[in-house]
Amino acid sequence: MVRRLALAACALALLAVAACGGGGSGAGGAPAGSAVGSAYPATIDTMFGPVTVEEPPQRIVALGWSDAETALTLGVQPVGASDWLAFGGTGVGPWSPPYTTPPTILGTTQLDYEAVAALRPDLILDTRSSGDRQRFDTLNQIAPTVSPPPGLAASYGTTWRQQMTMVSAALGKPDEGARQIAGLEEKFRATTAANPGFAGRPAGVGASFGGQWGAYVPGDSRVDVMNELGFTTPPQIEALAGSANGSFYVPLSGEQVGLLSSDLTVVFPINASADAIRTDPVLSRTPAAQAGHLVVLDDKTTSDAFSSGSVPGTAAALDRAVPQFAGALSR
């Protein structure tokens, strides 16, 4: 049962089968070296207590969802990384700064800890992950591990602000992290100012995968983006959140898909057909679909950016998805 739930969570996180499998590939990147900052020692508060990075790390492994692209945005190249959104290649989205030396690609929910240890890391980033204690304890025996922050409402619920703050502190670049946060906050302000009609409008967010459906609940990064744009979470989705048991989504039966219908409904396919979403016998008859207020993010780059939860990915989502939201609401 636990494994089945983990695989479902993988799917809703936009994982490919290969990413969920936990295998590794790649040559292993060059040491981060002088790319890290100088603000050491650095202490980061995590759900398992404070973690102190005593001196500049030279070999960084980024295991948390979008930790690698966050490090790259700060000018630091991990030697190993997890490809949560199944990008392939170096495991990061097109909005991320590139690697000069490809990292070793590691597993996601099923880690090969020996492969992690073989990279000889002196810092492990795992800021957006399940928050599993055994995972943390095992990784922390390999190298100081920055796990998710305390007080999360859902697993994988680290916000883009928290992730950038934690990663930039661990990499000795807190000022650059603050600058990155301020830049995205300004982009949100400009976007909401240009779209005042978003304010107070309920928006349901969901995904279709393998013939199944799921609704994202408060605490998920996609819901966070919608809320920051001024949208609210529909009351029927709020009611479902109590059954999420700490997850970032709740499964929906085919008959329950109509619960996603709201002033705006945003859905995307995961290894599924966008046309099948549009023609779904329940969703296609909802008030949102009938009014033209259904947005299907059928471009993978857009849905990946929307799901990234990182500073650069979220910025890309604002550019790519918001015009679709505005267009649907103008109908």
Q: What confidence score (pLDDT) does residue 241 get?
A: 83
Chain centroid to CA 134: 22
Distance CA 183, CA 188 (A): 9
Q: Locate the DSSP E strands across 156-226.
A: 203-209, 212-216
At 197, list the tokens. 């009609």
Exposure string of 114-142, with b = 16+ CB inside 10 Å and e = fewer, is ebbeebebbbbbbbbbbbeeebbeebbeb
Mean residue pLDDT of the chain comes to 90
Q: Check residue 240 and give its pLDDT.
A: 87
Short-list 23, 30, 36, 160, CA closest to 82:
23
Identify the pLDDT of residue 17: 32
Instruction: Classify strands 294-296 and 51-53 as parallel, antiparallel or unpaired.
Output: unpaired
pLDDT digit of tens for each residue in the chain (331 aa)?
333 334 444 445 433 333 343 444 444 555 555 589 999 999 999 999 999 999 999 999 999 999 999 999 999 999 999 999 999 999 999 999 999 999 999 999 999 999 999 999 999 999 999 999 999 999 999 999 999 999 998 899 999 999 999 999 999 999 999 999 999 999 999 999 999 999 999 999 999 987 899 999 999 999 999 999 999 999 999 998 877 778 999 999 999 999 999 999 999 999 888 999 999 999 999 999 999 999 999 999 999 999 999 999 999 999 999 999 999 999 8
What gap in Å lies between CA 152 and CA 135, rounded to an integer?
17
pLDDT of residue 28: 55
Residue 34 is predicted with a pLDDT of 52
CA-nearest of 6, 47, 43, 62 to 152 is 47
Calculate the alpha carbon distances from 94 to 47, 141, 272, 300, 302 in Å.
31, 33, 22, 11, 10
CA 262 to each of CA 202, 206, 228: distance values in angstroms, whole numbers, following the listed order? 6, 12, 17
Give the pLDDT of residue 26: 46
Can you tell me whether residue 61 is helix, strand or coil? strand
- List pLDDT tens digits, range 83-113: 999 999 999 999 999 999 999 999 999 999 9
How are beta strands 80-82 and 42-44 bridged, if at all? unpaired
* Beta carbons of 207 and 306 less than 8 angstroms apart: no
pTM over 0.95: no
Q: pLDDT tens across 110-134, in order?
A: 999 999 999 999 999 999 999 999 9
The radius of gyration of the chain from alpha carbons, rounded to an integer in Å, stands at: 19
- pLDDT the model gives residue 260: 97
The pLDDT of residue 32 is 57
Give the β-pairing of 212-216 and 203-209. antiparallel
**pLDDT for res 31:** 57
pLDDT at 6: 42
Question: How many angstroms separate the CA atoms of 126 and 312, rounded?
Answer: 18
